[in-house]
Amino acid sequence: MRTDPATLEIMRNYFNSIASGMGHVIERTSYTTFVQESADFATALATPEGEFFVYPRTVGVTIFLGLSLAKAVEECGSLEPGDIIITNDPYSTDGLATHLPDVHIFKPIFVNGELVCFAWSFVHCSDIGGLVPTSISPRATDIHQEGLRVPPVKLYKSGDINKDVRSLFLANSRIPNLNYGDINAMVSSVNTAETRLLSMIDKFGTAVVKNAMYDLLEQGEERSRQIIERIPDGRYSFSDYLDDDMVSDVPIRLAVDITVSGRELVLDFSDCDPQVSTAFNLVTNGTRHSFLFQGLINYIISSDPFIPVNGGITHPIRVIAPRGTLVNAAYPAAVGLRHPITMRLYNAVLGALAQAIPVEIPAAGGGQAAIVVLSTPDDEATGAVKVSVVEPMGGGGGGQSDMDGVDGIDHSSGFLQNTPVECLENHADILVRCYELMPDTAGAGLHRGGHAVRLDFEIIKTGSIVMARGMERLRFQPWGLSGGKAGALGSVVMNPGFSTEECIPKINTLSPQPGEIVSIRSPGGGGWGNPFRRDPELIISEIRNGLLTKQQALKEYGLVIQDLPGHEITEDEKATAELRQKMASRSDKLWDFGSARENYEARWTPEASKMLAHMLQTLPPLRRSHRKHAVHQRADRLGESQPILPDTVQKIWDELELQKEK
């Protein structure tokens, strides 16, 4: 360490103030509701090598701290004072931009000709061209269908705007004025950071400030190693699923092996499924990318609330991610739906750690952050449209060893904020009919999961298009932990309560008519611990609040209710004790995955899925998804009663190879 502890803490506070202040600039000056209300933006300061040495944890999203500007800086060539770089391209930045709507801006800050650091910001632009309004279609088959790709280029050169770059970017959006407002907010944020950092250097000197940057990274690394050292050494494996790839009903399997050795940790994703032909892919270039292990990062930060939040936290972590898998997709794979993968990896990494430290790990949360978006005609004469984010629909949080899951928001997407109904109806052409927590959706447990959210909205305009990217857990429930029960599934219902009520699949693009109502219900969080140990008074309180029915209390908690005069309810203590004693043996599993996953894995055994994943890695990346579907189609012909074992997979593979030769 080059900086004494007292000075380093002063520097840390200064840096945090600058980075947080950048975020507040975006918060107050951006144009789109998704940035203003949902807070899908981020800011940070990075070393000259491109590593974030300070990352605010109280403003904006929290999932980028382990990323690096290094590749993007390299692509830019020489930099000068006044330059500001813009990019949204995953492939030319090693996954700094994780999909095309994520627009990144960064500015080099010089002192006497020396590059001292970078100021960085990003926002999720609500539209950058592509197949559909908002640019993100689950059924996109390559990245060129998802919008305009902007490799790292100078938006400003020596302080002067590059009008050609600006014009090209804005000409490829359905909402150019709103996008430009958000871009200007980012430019203002990095300019503000430069002013404040130069003021800080004037006060303390360049050497002191630069030493503090690297010392904070070292401090973050050391304290991260101390947390990892507490995890028992060993190898821990876990897998989880996305429902499907939206072209077939074949699930997408995400698997991880975690090896803990002293103060270091290796995450091996070799057993993951191959990249798919639709937009469920993640670009990482096989590097230590924070989207691969956000659950681990959050565990470390939660275990040490005072740890410096920066890229140093990730230094003790090594990643193995073979090219052509979901977690290291090869060009030109579509990547618009990269966040469902991130959230399921969150579940998978924590599921693996739960074998080592179950008391410290929560059950699975809802596992989705479905961004519901509405596109409506804005000017029929010009063809202009209005694109509005309706709501980021998170599910309930997972229960923990010491508390219930948070209602309505999953810990893996807790950085997103809901949009107030008043603001929503002001910006979007809809009427909100219902926005509430749903009863009987929380996974039962000593500490229950969080309740799911229901949003019903009525369409007003002809030509409206509804999209909801990232809908998940409509098939496989969020798992319960340490005896807790799985949470409820999500769903989509058209015209609830009317004669035309219909439950529909995941939304790609939906074109409802004026007067129709779209009802989106998120998943509930899994429960933690034996439900039959839950305090009856807590259960009764939820019944009174309308979040739990008496029938569900009896079924999941073994609580027998007595009805008293005046609609008051109380526990029948004797009957409850007898019933709970009979039912107690039902809650002795570490995980409760729910019936759908149990039935699927009884048919498609995990060993067979793992073997197929490795066999597919012998093929070129663009052929793997097709071969996976072909193997599953042949397996389906064998009948539901026959489990698919590794030998079965090998036989089907050999048949397909022989057919190819013919």
Of 178, 198, 223, the one marking the end of a domain is 223
Judge whether 85 lies within some domain. yes
pLDDT digits (tens, 9 = 90+) for 40-82: 899 999 999 999 999 998 888 888 888 999 999 999 889 999 9
Cβ–Cβ under 8 Å, residues 86 and 169? yes
Higher-confidence residue of 248 and 47: namely: 47
From the list 479, 569, 484, 571, the residue with the least C-alpha distance to 532 is 484
Judge whether 416 lies within some domain. no
Which of these ranges, 10-24, 226-240, 370-384, 551-565, has the smallest mean pLDDT? 370-384
Mean pLDDT value across residues 559-573: 81
Cβ–Cβ under 8 Å, residues 445 and 480? yes
Residues with Cβ within 8 Å of 564's Cβ and at least 6 positions away in sequence, in order, are 570
Of 223, 253, 271, the one marking the end of a domain is 223
Mean pLDDT value across residues 268-284: 96
Say what percent of the chain tops pLDDT 70: 98
Judge whether 643 lies within some domain. yes
Instruction: Give the span between the Cα atoms of 366 and 362, in whole angstroms.
Output: 12
Surface-to-core class of residue 499, CB atoms within 10 Å of its CB (0-12 exposed, 13-18 middle, 19+ buried): exposed
Say what percent of the chain tops pLDDT 90: 76
C-alpha atoms less than 13 angstroms from C-alpha of 565 in its C-beta half-sphere: 0
DSSP state letters, 271-294:
TSPBPPSSS-----TTS--GGGSH
pLDDT digits (tens, 9 = 90+) for 541-556: 999 999 999 999 999 9
Number of domains forming the structure of the chain? 2
C-alpha atoms less than 13 angstroms from C-alpha of 55 in its C-beta half-sphere: 29
Judge whether 573 lies within some domain. no
pLDDT value at residue 385:
83
Q: Per residue in 405-426, is it b (16+ CB within 10 Å) or e — as a string?
A: bbbbbbbbbbbbebbeeeebee
Judge whether 461 lies within some domain. no
Which of these ranges, 112-121, 133-142, 204-213, has the smallest mean pLDDT? 133-142
pLDDT digits (tens, 9 = 90+) for 323-375: 999 999 999 999 999 989 999 999 999 999 999 999 999 999 999 888 888 98
Domain holding 657, by residue range, is: 604-661
**H or E stretch including 646?**
helix 646-661
Judge whether 127 lies within some domain. yes
Of 191, 206, 223, the one marking the end of a domain is 223
Judge whether 613 lies within some domain. yes
Judge whether 55 lies within some domain. yes
